[in-house]
Structure 1
Amino acid sequence: MGITAKELAARLNLSATAVSMALNGKPGVSTETRALVIREAEKAGYDFSRLSMKKNASGDIYCIICRAHNAILNYTPIFSELTDGLEQECRKNGYHLKTFQLYEKVDDLQKYIEELRISQCAGVILLGTEVSASVCHEFLQLSVPVILLDSYFDSADCSCVLINNAQGAYLATSYLIDRCGRQPGHLCSSYRITNFRERTHGFHRAVREHGMSTAKSIIHELSPSIEGAFSDMLEIIDSGTPLAGAYFADNDLIAIGAIKALKLRGYKVPEDIAIAGFDNISEGRVIDPALTTIDVPRKFMGQTAAAQLIREIQTPVLHSVKIEVSTTLIKRFSV
């Protein structure tokens, strides 16, 4: 069996990054170093077909699930649908999908990326729900295409696939106002990510377009989990804080926790207070009353991200793209 790039780097006393750049014809190493690496690789029987895998319809695609605080990604059913779509599209096109989890505060990011450099990685899909811009930029230093899934950064020069969060929030808030005729409040997440900030923009736009002032909307910050939102909402109710007659919640977990707290304290939903969520998780169908929410085609998002990455692997692109997937309002009994 021929030598691996990692073994070659150790033999030549070079970094894995330098060996990867030399073998892949990337800038960043001297002409002498590049010639040395290729010469020694040929002598040691390095399998150069591994390099062509990155350009042909074969090889490995890595899905990196990057966790920061685990506040959002802790709810796994949502993200299993995304990875199902990724895997289906990869398999259809002859690629093998490898999924790994990276804990930003614990794992050695640089070591992680070095391992990717010397692997048979053809491209990376970075699940960016909790990822920071700085971590995203580290992955963009790889010599393979990178797609950012479920997030977007103006400073990141890579293609991305994400939900049209503002559109979904706008649909839910407009429906609340039209049905209830009341100034809606906002149950926003205490942990702020890009998705939630965009949902806030959609909420504000709907309020303003209905002739209301966003300054008059009652806002409560709740933990983005059922248990956390339940406890936080109970505390808000018991403190005597004024409540709105209708609420848009940043996600279904917050909405469900708030409904449980309101019902425990004797409020009727939707007669006293109407609530709409976002994500269309299964728990929202079985809670009483069933939750009005925004549906996200997560499997389709995964398929779209994988398809875009494969296009960029096979035909390098000059410009990155931002693909926003539209959402759908699901009308149930909480409004």
Structure 2
Amino acid sequence: MKLEDIARLANVSKSAASLALNGKPGVSEETRATVLRIAKEHNYVPLKKIKKKYINPSSSTNYVIRFVGCKATDLIEDNYHNMPFFNELLGYFTNELKNYPFSLLISSIDSNSIREDLKRIEDEQPSDGIFLLGTNLTLQQIEEIQKIQKNLVVLDTCAPQSNLDFISINNYQGAYQAAEYLIKKGHHKVGYAESKTRIYNFSERKRGFFDALNSHGISSEDVNIYQMHGMKIETDTKNLADLQSDSSLPTAIFCENDYIAISLIRTLSTLKITVPEDISVIGFDNIPESKVITPELTTIGVNKQKIAQEAMRKMLANLERQEEDYGMHSFINTNLIERDSVI
């Protein structure tokens, strides 16, 4: 992590962050406390000290690892590190640092200029490896990054045809689990709320959900599909107005993630449709907001700590050649979290 990363997270200028970190006057105590807290949470070390820092005494080398997120206006925004799912994931990565000889840099690059942006920041501060948040990226874009840094572990997506290292949620299993749960609760007339923007994770969730329905004799043609924004919580009465007048409403709707599920619950409330009495709703990801929405959201839980642990282990194995030189696709299984939005 660099000084500008601290400044961006604290929403202050780089100079203000520097004053706060160095105990100098010129910033408020509130700003100083915020900057120091963020620096502590992300194990910030000044760049000039990074190569001298040994986090793990069992290793003779300290590695500089970069965590890269690629922003895109339709899905992953510039402030992805403040979004619930990704913020939690980053938190687990920083917590795991104590167990590894790593110093972590956090960088955002534009998905439309991946090679140029990454080359620039790698020239400024070279890394020994990259954790790439690949949620919204194609394999071609991921391979552009590998051309610059071959020690690459890709997170939150997968390309089955690739020999690269991928650490991903078991999206298929999680959505299959959600469908099985709804059917067990007696819901055979179900709906599916999907993101307008399509990525690997959502496609796998859709495949798993419909495979589970088909295994119980429910045809995909009988499932109402609703399209919503995939990474923004909003009330969308325009696209969902038909729910208010539809005489054949589903008794339950599966949502591809919790953003969609929370937006759906808010929209249904505006349309005077009650959750779960009129329609049950289930999400995916278990973001913190799922526990504060009314009713609390039943969802598919994702073990973000396990993703961080597996990624750290694989990165160290690659750097110290502890394993044969071949790619690995790891899928972290999910668990069902029952709350109040499904009856």
TM-score calculated relative to the size of structure 1: 0.77
Q: What does residue 140 of structure 1 align with?
A: 146
Q: Give the 3 Å change call, closer, same or farther, for CA 203–76 of structure 1 in structure 2.
A: same
Equivalent residue runs for 1:304-323 within 5 Å: 304-315=310-321, 317-323=324-330
CA distance in 2 between counterparts of 1:86 and 1:156 reads: 24
Q: What does residue 324 of structure 1 align with?
A: 331
Q: Give the 3 Å change call, closer, same or farther, for CA 64–241 of structure 1 in structure 2.
A: farther
**Match status 1:157 vs 2:151:** no
Q: Give the 3 Å change call, closer, same or farther, for CA 238–270 of structure 1 in structure 2.
A: closer
**Match status 1:86 vs 2:93:** yes
**Match status 1:131 vs 2:137:** yes
CA distance in 2 between counterparts of 1:232 and 1:60 reads: 48
Equivalent residue runs for 1:1-335 within 5 Å: 57-72=61-76, 74=80, 76-105=83-112, 107=113, 109-113=115-119, 115-116=121-122, 119-225=125-231, 227-228=233-234, 230-237=236-243, 240=246, 242-315=248-321, 317-335=324-342
Question: Between the two proteins, what is the percent identity of the paired residues?
Answer: 29
| Deviation at residue 116 of structure 1 after TM alignment | 2.1
CA distance in 2 between counterparts of 1:198 and 1:93 reads: 32
Task: Return 192-201 or 275-284, whichever deviates more.
Answer: 275-284
Would the aligned equivalents of 2:233 and 2:262 in 1 still touch at CA under 8 Å?
A: no
Task: Return 69-78 or 202-211, whichever deviates more.
Answer: 69-78
| Deviation at residue 225 of structure 1 after TM alignment | 4.2
Q: Deviations over 1:53-98 (max 9, x none)?
A: 9x96312001111122352555612112212222233342221000
Residue segments in structure 1 that go unaligned for 5+ positions in a row: 1-49
Residue segments in structure 2 that go unaligned for 5+ positions in a row: 1-50
Q: Give the 3 Å change call, closer, same or farther, for CA 241–102 of structure 1 in structure 2.
A: farther
The count of aligned residue pairs is 282
SS at match of 2:106: strand
| Deviation at residue 331 of structure 1 after TM alignment | 0.7
Q: Deviations over 1:138-191 (max 9, x none)?
A: 111135410000011134331110000011111111111111332211011111
Task: Return 81-90 or 224-233, whichever deviates more.
Answer: 224-233
Structure with bigger RCO (C-alpha 8 Å, 6+ apart): 1
Q: Deviations over 1:242-264 (max 9, x none)?
A: 53221110011111111112122
Would the aligned equivalents of 1:62 and 1:98 in 2 still touch at CA under 8 Å?
A: yes
Would the aligned equivalents of 1:83 and 1:299 in 2 still touch at CA under 8 Å?
A: no
CA distance in 1 between counterparts of 2:165 and 2:199 reads: 19
| Deviation at residue 319 of structure 1 after TM alignment | 1.2
| Deviation at residue 233 of structure 1 after TM alignment | 4.7
Would the aligned equivalents of 2:175 and 2:206 in 1 still touch at CA under 8 Å?
A: yes
Q: Give the 3 Å change call, closer, same or farther, for CA 113–154 of structure 1 in structure 2.
A: farther
CA distance in 1 between counterparts of 2:61 and 2:150 reads: 14
Q: Give the 3 Å change call, closer, same or farther, for CA 205–234 of structure 1 in structure 2.
A: closer
Would the aligned equivalents of 1:117 and 1:143 in 2 still touch at CA under 8 Å?
A: no
SS at match of 1:301: helix
CA distance in 2 between counterparts of 1:305 and 1:232 reads: 41
Would the aligned equivalents of 2:176 and 2:211 in 1 still touch at CA under 8 Å?
A: yes
Would the aligned equivalents of 1:277 and 1:294 in 2 still touch at CA under 8 Å?
A: yes
Q: Which amino acid letter does the alignment assign opposite residue 60 of structure 1?
A: V
Q: Give the 3 Å change call, closer, same or farther, for CA 280–228 of structure 1 in structure 2.
A: same
Would the aligned equivalents of 2:298 and 2:339 in 1 still touch at CA under 8 Å?
A: yes
| Deviation at residue 320 of structure 1 after TM alignment | 0.6
Q: Give the 3 Å change call, closer, same or farther, for CA 118–255 of structure 1 in structure 2.
A: closer
| Deviation at residue 111 of structure 1 after TM alignment | 4.8
